[in-house]
């Protein structure tokens, strides 16, 4: 028996067929393209690549560059973490994900950085760009200049947050390179990318990548990204023993499938990477100051020029002092200097050798500079030592003390660094196998970082495990600044509190 369908039933089937043909099929065809890139973070060696140079929408992976420039600006003195940023109407109007900032609100830069790194807040990222460059458009130009310096040759930034915009494109290769520079150029800030939660000033925020961080062994960052055009993106890093792998995936279909793919690629990377490989950090890009739209450096740029204290390669020696008719008396140098003098000379020689090897510009001839080690002394070979003649016998010296008078004893002066005014802090720069080695490092460090360590007390403390090299008698702020500056020079440094 034939069953005849009613007119409404037939009409419903036609609607379903049309929906499948004109909506579902085009949507599946427009799925974000897939790309992946895997490297050994220690050497930069490529372990896997698929569509890695295809220009795609990076989404919030863009914020890696925003934060990189923020860290660079903080290090160069353009802005500080405590700078109060006034939120513009443009920044406050950015769509989610966002922190919920209001126009005219003032908030410290440190909270904006946390919100951008952990929550991937678009309003925070825009506010960071405006605080550093004055506008998001100027900041985007700086992002592109910095990208070129890093070697991101197929990346173009149009905004600070990564929301879809025509021409705002990057590649899996370039974003992996960006993640590697964040890791090695600013290790003191890298821990931000592994915080599951963070205080963003106005509220507590959760990490957008917490599922992968909690599920994959050794994972410690870096950044997620999602838009409809981009799909689910992720640049991730993980460390196991001596090995570290960085993976970037573009075009995931969901958070779960993306995380599963990244975990699969991480495992592949750890299998292919050698257990021991030399660490070859990427070369830090040259600092790019603010520039005008024409590309020339703007005289009104916000960036500051930081004076670096280094020894010059070439020293312009002063002319010898004109010879006089009377010879100059020169004291003979001791034939066997005491151990402390030898130690000081050794430390100075090491510091000067390191400084001379550092790349620094040669001074102009019109401004001669004499380095401390180049001071010209009169040669003992060309000078004559004049011996005083003997005093005539029987000569009475007015005011002379009788021989029977007791000679005054020299007063002993004991000096120490005052602990008043909060100068009860210090820093430790390492533990060494001998007192000599610790004292040598103290002198060498003091010469390299005179700006903050000047006035502190060098002290070697003997411990059961060795000899601690300490600088004492500092304020908390000075000790913290000294540690940060020494760590920037790759010198181990730990603050020492009162007591």
DSSP β-ladder status, 466-474 and 231-240 = unpaired
Q: Does the annotation count 336 as an active-site position?
A: no
Which one is catalytic: 88, 98, 119, 120? 120
| CA-to-CA separations, 325 to 205, 384, 387, in angstroms, rounded | 81, 12, 17
| CA-to-CA separations, 201 to 16, 119, 341, in angstroms, rounded | 50, 13, 53
Question: Which residues have C-beta within 8 Å of that of residue 7, sequence separation ≥ 6?
Answer: none
SS3 at position 245 = strand
Q: Does the annotation count 170 as an active-site position?
A: no
CA 244 – CA 266 distance, rounded (Å): 9
Which one is catalytic: 63, 98, 440, 444? 63
| CA-to-CA separations, 484 to 188, 429, 495, in angstroms, rounded | 9, 12, 10
DSSP β-ladder status, 466-474 and 457-463 = antiparallel
Diameter of the chain by CA atoms? 156
CA 466 – CA 416 distance, rounded (Å): 24
Alpha helices for 186-254 (secondary structure H): 210-215
* Tokens 């807040």 found at: 121
Please tell me what DSSP assigns to residue 127: H
Supply angle C-alpha 56, 62, 67, rounded to 5.
Answer: 160
Q: Does the annotation count 440 as an active-site position?
A: no
Supply angle C-alpha 318, 323, 328, rounded to 5.
Answer: 100
Buried b (16+ CB within 10 A) or exposed e, 107-121: bebbbbbbbbbbbbb
Which one is catalytic: 60, 88, 170, 237? 60
| CA-to-CA separations, 170 to 156, 250, 252, 342, in angstroms, rounded | 6, 10, 16, 57
Asked whether 212 and 262 are in contact (CB, 8 A), the reply is yes
Report the Cα–Cα distance between both ends of the chain, in Å, rounded: 99
CA 44 – CA 38 distance, rounded (Å): 9
SS3 at position 110 = helix
Question: Is the Cα torsion angle 97, 103, 105, 109 positive or negative in sign?
Answer: positive
3-state secondary structure 455-479: CCEEEEEEECCEEEEEEEEECHHHH
CA 492 – CA 427 distance, rounded (Å): 10
Cite the active site residues.
60, 63, 120
């Amino acid at each position: 028996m034939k069953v005849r369908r009613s007119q409404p039933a037939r009409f419903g089937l036609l609607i379903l067929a049309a929906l499948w043909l004109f909506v579902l099929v085009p949507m599946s065809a427009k799925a974000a393209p897939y790309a992946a890139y895997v490297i050994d973070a220690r050497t930069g060696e490529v372990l896997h690549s698929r569509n890695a140079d295809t220009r795609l929408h990076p989404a919030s992976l863009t914020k890696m560059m925003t934060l990189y420039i923020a860290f660079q600006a903080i290090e160069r003195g353009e802005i500080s973490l405590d700078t109060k940023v006034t939120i513009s109407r443009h920044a406050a109007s950015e769509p989610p994900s966002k922190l919920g900032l209001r126009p005219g609100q003032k908030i410290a830069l440190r909270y904006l950085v946390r919100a951008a790194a952990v929550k991937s807040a678009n309003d925070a990222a825009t506010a960071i760009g405006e605080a550093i460059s004055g506008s998001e458009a100027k900041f985007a130009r700086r992002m592109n200049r910095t990208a070129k310096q890093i070697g991101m040759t197929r990346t173009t930034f149009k905004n600070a947050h990564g929301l879809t915009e025509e021409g705002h494109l990057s590649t899996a290769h370039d974003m992996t390179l960006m993640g590697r520079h964040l890791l090695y150029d600013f290790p003191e800030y890298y821990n931000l990318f592994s915080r599951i939660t963070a205080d963003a000033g106005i509220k507590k925020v959760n990490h957008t990548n917490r599922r992968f961080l909690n599920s994959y062994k050794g994972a410690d960052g870096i950044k997620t990204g999602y838009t409809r055009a981009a799909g689910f993106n992720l640049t991730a890093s993980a460390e196991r023993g001596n090995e570290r792998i960085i993976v970037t995936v573009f075009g995931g279909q969901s958070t779960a499938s993306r995380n599963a793919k990244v975990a699969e690629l991480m495992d592949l990377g750890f299998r292919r990477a050698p257990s021991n490989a030399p660490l070859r950090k990427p070369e830090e890009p040259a600092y790019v100051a603010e520039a005008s739209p024409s590309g020339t450096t703007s005289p009104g740029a916000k960036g500051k020029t930081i004076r670096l204290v280094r020894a010059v390669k070439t020293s312009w020696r002063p002319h010898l002092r004109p010879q006089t008719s009377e010879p100059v008396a020169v004291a003979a140098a001791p034939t066997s200097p005491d151990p402390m003098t030898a130690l000081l000379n050794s430390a100075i020689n090491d510091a000067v050798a390191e400084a001379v090897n550092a790349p620094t510009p040669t001074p102009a001839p019109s401004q001669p500079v004499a380095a401390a080690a180049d001071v010209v002394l009169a040669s003992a070979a060309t000078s004559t030592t004049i011996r005083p003649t003997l005093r005539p016998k029987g000569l009475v010296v007015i005011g002379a003390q009788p021989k029977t008078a007791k000679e005054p004893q020299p007063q002993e002066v004991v000096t120490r660094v005052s602990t008043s005014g909060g100068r009860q802090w210090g820093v430790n720069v390492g533990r060494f196998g001998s007192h000599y080695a610790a004292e040598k490092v103290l002198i060498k460090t003091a010469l390299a970082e005179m700006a903050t360590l000047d006035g502190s007390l060098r002290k070697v403390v003997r411990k059961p495990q060795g000899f601690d090299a300490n600088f004492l008698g500092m304020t908390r702020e000075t000790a913290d600044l000294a540690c940060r500056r020494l760590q920037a020079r790759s010198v181990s440094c730990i603050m020492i509190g009162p007591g």
